[in-house]
Amino acid sequence: MAMYVVGHKIPDSDSICGAIALAYLKNKIGEPAIASRLGEPSPETQFILDRFGFEAPELKMSYAGEEVYIVDHSEVTQAPDDIAEATIVGIVDHHKLGDLTTAAPLECWIRPVGCSNTVIKMMYDFHGVEIPKDIAGIMLCAILSDTVIFKSPTCTTADIRCVEDLAKIAGIEDYKALGMEMFKVKSAVDGTPARDLVLRDFKDFNMNNNLVGIGSWKWLTCQSLTLSKPISKLTLPS
């Protein structure tokens, strides 16, 4: 049975690119895997997929009875709604440890770095698997996105070294220019409904049984609000 590799709800580039990169690695080491997603790719993610010739992973919301490898979080609120009926076989992440639990031992790759794709690169190195050019490209873009081209306080030297390695593999000379191109796509908000902008990069958290939604617009601004129900079920004016 193939496992599903899936990032968080309202997926960002790290979740989508990480699912593709990790599913490829898992298949290479003889563990059948299918990349999937819990929502529509953002314009930035679509730009990355188009740039390197990838289709978006399969949209799949229900995982009951499936094996699941979680990417880019370890939170119940960001996982599929029926995650309790699935078997979590692994987690790759770079956030604080969340509240997902398992009944069986699992593989856990969690490091305090700027992006899950930096950790996935460590997994490729650990297994001695060569990263294909196009996959190196999307991993590089995910790291540039999460670290805001190295300007985020979460960026580490491991992320920078990782991007330099991936740029060589992908044959990208000026990766910072690619990063700027990507952020221009992300910043083009003309014609986008307010609701879509608020919900872009939005995450639910369970904080002491308070449901808290946090939206981060990376270098632009950061806001949070306390919610009465999960953000996915909230009605906002369009």
Binding site for Mn ion (CB under 5 A): 14, 72, 116, 146
Q: Distance between CA 197 and CA 169 in Å, rounded? A: 34
- The minimum distance between CB 156 and Mn ion, in angstroms, equals 13
- The minimum distance between CB 219 and Mn ion, in angstroms, equals 15
What residues pair up with 216 in beta bridges, in sequence order? Answer: 222
- The minimum distance between CB 94 and Mn ion, in angstroms, equals 6
Residue closest to Mn ion, measured at CB: 14
Q: Which is nearer to Mn ion, 3 or 17 (CB)?
A: 17
Q: Which is nearer to Mn ion, 67 or 78 (CB)?
A: 78
Q: What is the DSSP string of 176-232?
A: HHHHHHHHHHHH--TT--HHHHHHTTEEEEEETTEEEEEEE-TTS-EEEEE-SS-GG
Q: Which is nearer to Mn ion, 88 or 142 (CB)?
A: 142
HSE, CB side, 13 Å, CA atoms: give it for residue 212.
10
- The minimum distance between CB 13 and Mn ion, in angstroms, equals 8
Q: Which is nearer to Mn ion, 44 or 72 (CB)?
A: 72
Note whether 121 and 165 are within 8 A (CB).
Answer: yes
Note whether 113 and 158 are within 8 A (CB).
Answer: yes
- The minimum distance between CB 173 and Mn ion, in angstroms, equals 25
Q: Which is nearer to Mn ion, 67 or 72 (CB)?
A: 72
